[in-house]
Structure 1
Amino acid sequence: MSTQAISKATLIDWLGDKAELAVLDIRTAEEVGYASPLFATNLPAARLDAEIDRFIPRRVVRTVLVDDGKGAAKVAAERLAGKGWQKLFYLEGGIPAWIESGVESLPTFDIPGVPFVTKVRDEKGTPVVTASELKALRDKGEDVIVLDSRTVPEYSREHVPDAVSVPGAELLLRFKDLVPSADTKVLVSCAGLPRAILGAQTLIDAGVPNFVAYLDDGTKGWTNAGLTLETGKTRAYGDASEAAKAFAAERVEALSRDDSLLFIDRATAETWAKDESRTTYYLDVRTPEEFAESHLPGTISSEGGQLLGVAYRTIAVRGSRVILVDDLLGVRARTVAHWLRRRGYEIGILLHDFTAAELGAVA
């Protein structure tokens, strides 16, 4: 099949319709930075052929490749068309053409993380503590803990000194082990705002008894205050105790009380995944280590904390269904679903006993 160029106006129209649509920014990660101006999935051209099936499970999905305006998208689209991709398009002029008149009035593929979470913050009144205020609390000997809600590798690169690494979807599950006292002040941090705000508000909505706030601008706010970050995997969550699991199970009920969550069985999940008329993402939201030990066939490791604030990095097809796979406790899946449903995603939750002997390790 031949490929076709589309104009900026056409892409704007497509971003406004209801049909399935995938948009891939194929520039390098360094060029894209934190997010594409389109808030589309970044899949660099060098990895495109090897990984596109993971991001776009069905080759009939309308797919737009976007580049730096120098022709890489056209070349890639023609190459993929020869491999069976049926509805490939590329944006004329790439990102330079998209942003040339500014981006303020333009639609985006996904809801940008910062506007979404700041709306949550403003509606909920999420408490905030600045880096200077945190330092003052510590200097006075206050009982305060910082929970870093990013991935462990991000945390290991640099973090607020003495912070504990607890990726966002793990916060409720690990909370009681890390914060045994209701008197401890809890601050949730990330590199900026999105995951910290959602992490803090998750704990607040779940009704933990502690004072909870987010650390304003996270690691960026810390350095802007003239303070030095710490490196290495200095403090991280461990296996959840039975007491922590019981606490999380109780609190997640409060968090998701009004969520109308859809729980499905494995047969339904596999039927959805094989549906030729609809794209379905089959995502395991447990830790990467748990996934490596055992997982269901066909699932993709997609750490829940990342889905909370940057879903577009994994879910490249707008209008798709999303299956969240978790253990029988389901705390992480329910936490992720709590926020993704508010962003318009259609969610099914599959809880599975990963300790069952018949499963074994699946590579």
Structure 2
Amino acid sequence: MISETAPADVRLDWIARREVALIDLREEDPFAKDHPLFAAQLPLSRLELEILDRVPRRSTRIVLYDNDEGLVPRAAERLRKLGYTQVSALAGGLEGWRQAGYELFQDVNSASKAFGELVESRRHTPSVPAPEAKALIEQEQNLVVLDARRFEEYQTMSIPRGVSVPGAELVLRAREIAPDPSTTIIVNCAGRTRSIIGAQSLINAGLPNRIFALRNGTIGWTLAGQNLEHGRDGRFPEVSADREAEARAAARAVSYRAGVKHLDPRGLEILARDPARTLYRFDVRTPDEYAAGHIPGFRSAPGGQLVQETDVFAPVRGARIVLADDKGARAEMSASWLAQMGWEVYVLDGGFDVDLEPRPWRPTLPPLPDVSTISAGDLQARLERQDVTVLDLAPSPAHRRGHIPGAWFVIRSRLRDALARLPQDRDFVLTSPDGALARLAAEDLAELTGRAPLVLEGGTAAWTAARLPLEEGLVRAASEPEDVYRRPYEGTDNAAEAMQAYLDWEFGLVDQLARDGAHGFYVI
């Protein structure tokens, strides 16, 4: 029998800054409708694939909840097998939190977004509405537009004259891009948070320019009836040694004001040996820099996204965070924001003079079960004979982009319900992007059906590598595609009503934080 933790005890942990990971086991779409402020969405369907990186210390206090879907017992058993020793259930689940009278938040990354709104309300971050921004862009030559999102988001849609400068790169590179103090700088994102944090970062770092956040980002631009551009390739330039030193000094002054601590590699080693505290180590440089060589033990977390998606990277509220950056400014600025969000955060001084690991970040996986496999070629032959049913466990966006012809979309945690929609007179073959999730799901399916399925060796990636055909779209869905929340601020085909509703929600976050009373945020 799994023990229970009262909602009041979790809230007290947040207030007292004691370590706790409150884990929502539902898929992303239901999570986005209602959840506690610092809850982290880690679905049962992907639990084993993500937990070892997101909650790295096995004795961390973990509190699980769902909304009466029966996910908690299965998750608790899986965590027990992985060696986690302090796992409990939130008493009453999501409804228990509601009944206790505590706030429930919507959307994803809501703690970071609420913090961004608090920053704007406290610092009165200058912003410019879309029509005025358009006029400035068209009429003023001495102006730059810095897009603070990930490059992939920028390429999907951007405002005219935009240059991709993801969040943590802003202070490092803005002086290089706009060396003239009379140059106007507009910082934009898709909605509000990264525009606000980006513009305020430049202001905090003392840039003398006239600086604005694009009010309401590309959402505001679209709602104003203005056209976005697509497929642009404007990237930030390299930074000179003098500008790098200037940015480092300015960013360090900001992090000092925020109370950020510094440590050397020896200090890091001592912190890492503390068995009672979780330690996250993040490399906040660009993914390309990380892949070219990084300090062993550090995970890639580009600084702007780390501040935006702290709940994804660091679900253990109250943990310690150490940031690494060979140029300094990115770690200092990222740390300054994390400190204001209530984290115990450090910047690593040095550390890049060791033998660096030259490879992209890869998730830490548990040992995967032994299963019966089938090659891509053999699967193609059996599909032609029509004697197998393929179940694709990929995220629904990946499934839509391309899946094995005839495959059914299935969410692992919904396998029991999915079986009622699937043909029962054929062997089942499981696949997932790299095959790892399919191996885990094979045991679940065998338990439900009494017969062991086959797993596609190497997953759908192996099928693609063999240059076999793919089918697009959500043609056969044995599960509802609730694994992904449709963000009103991403893509180019969102309804105006959804975009406006999202903005209205963001405008109300400061008042909601005040009612919640457990966040511990401050603004320098």
Q: How does 1:171-182 map to 2 (within 5 A)?
A: 171-182=170-181
Q: Equivalents in 2 of 1:105, 1:47: separation in Å?
A: 24
Equivalent residue for 1:71? Answer: 70
Q: Equivalents in 1 of 2:166, 2:330: separation in Å?
A: 10
Alignment counterpart, residue 343 of structure 1, candidates 341, 344, 348: 341
CA RMSD of aligned residues (A): 2.7
Q: Equivalents in 1 of 2:341, 2:147: separation in Å?
A: 23
When normalised by structure 2's length, the TM-score is: 0.62
Instruction: Specify whether residues 27 and 240 from structure 1 end up closer, same or farther in structure 2 by C-alpha distance, changes over 3 A only.
Output: farther
Residue deviations 1:20-59 (CA, integer Å, cap 9, x gap) = 1011222223433499443422222222102101111111
Equivalent residue for 1:166? Answer: 165
Question: SS in structure 1 opposite 2:83?
Answer: coil
Q: CA deviation at 1:203?
A: 0.6
Equivalent residue for 2:225? Answer: 226
Return the letter of the residue paired with 1:193: R
Question: SS in structure 2 opposite 1:344?
Answer: coil
Q: CA deviation at 1:17?
A: 4.4
When normalised by structure 1's length, the TM-score is: 0.88
Equivalent residue for 2:245? Answer: 246
Q: Equivalents in 2 of 1:336, 1:34: separation in Å?
A: 28
Preserved CA contact (<8 Å) 2:252 2:333: no
Q: Equivalents in 2 of 1:259, 1:285: separation in Å?
A: 18
Q: CA deviation at 1:200?
A: 0.7
Q: CA deviation at 1:7?
A: 4.8
Does 266-275 or 240-249 show the bigger shift? 240-249
Q: Equivalents in 2 of 1:246, 1:79: separation in Å?
A: 48
Instruction: Specify whether residues 15 and 209 from structure 1 end up closer, same or farther in structure 2 by C-alpha distance, changes over 3 A only.
Output: closer
Q: Equivalents in 1 of 2:190, 2:252: separation in Å?
A: 29
> Which stretches in structure 1 are left out of the alignment for 5+ residues?
none
Return the letter of the residue paired with 1:87: Q
Equivalent residue for 1:318? Answer: 317
Equivalent residue for 1:188? Answer: 187
Equivalent residue for 2:293? Answer: 294
Question: SS in structure 2 opposite 1:347?
Answer: strand
Q: Equivalents in 1 of 2:103, 2:354: separation in Å?
A: 54
Q: Equivalents in 1 of 2:191, 2:52: separation in Å?
A: 31
> Which stretches in structure 2 are left out of the alignment for 5+ residues?
361-524
Does 112-121 or 214-223 show the bigger shift? 112-121
Q: CA deviation at 1:97?
A: 5.1
Equivalent residue for 1:361? Answer: 358
Question: SS in structure 1 opposite 2:152?
Answer: helix
Preserved CA contact (<8 Å) 2:22 2:38: no
Equivalent residue for 1:307? Answer: 306
1:271 aligns with 2:270: yes
Number of residue equivalences:
357
Equivalent residue for 1:31? Answer: 30
Preserved CA contact (<8 Å) 2:147 2:187: yes
Preserved CA contact (<8 Å) 2:258 2:340: no
Q: Equivalents in 2 of 1:204, 1:36: separation in Å?
A: 33
Return the letter of the residue paired with 1:230: E
Q: How does 1:84-99 map to 2 (within 5 A)?
A: 84-92=83-91, 94-95=93-94, 98-99=97-98
Question: SS in structure 2 opposite 1:240?
Answer: coil
Q: CA deviation at 1:223?
A: 1.1
Q: Equivalents in 1 of 2:322, 2:333: separation in Å?
A: 13
Structure index of larger Rg: 2
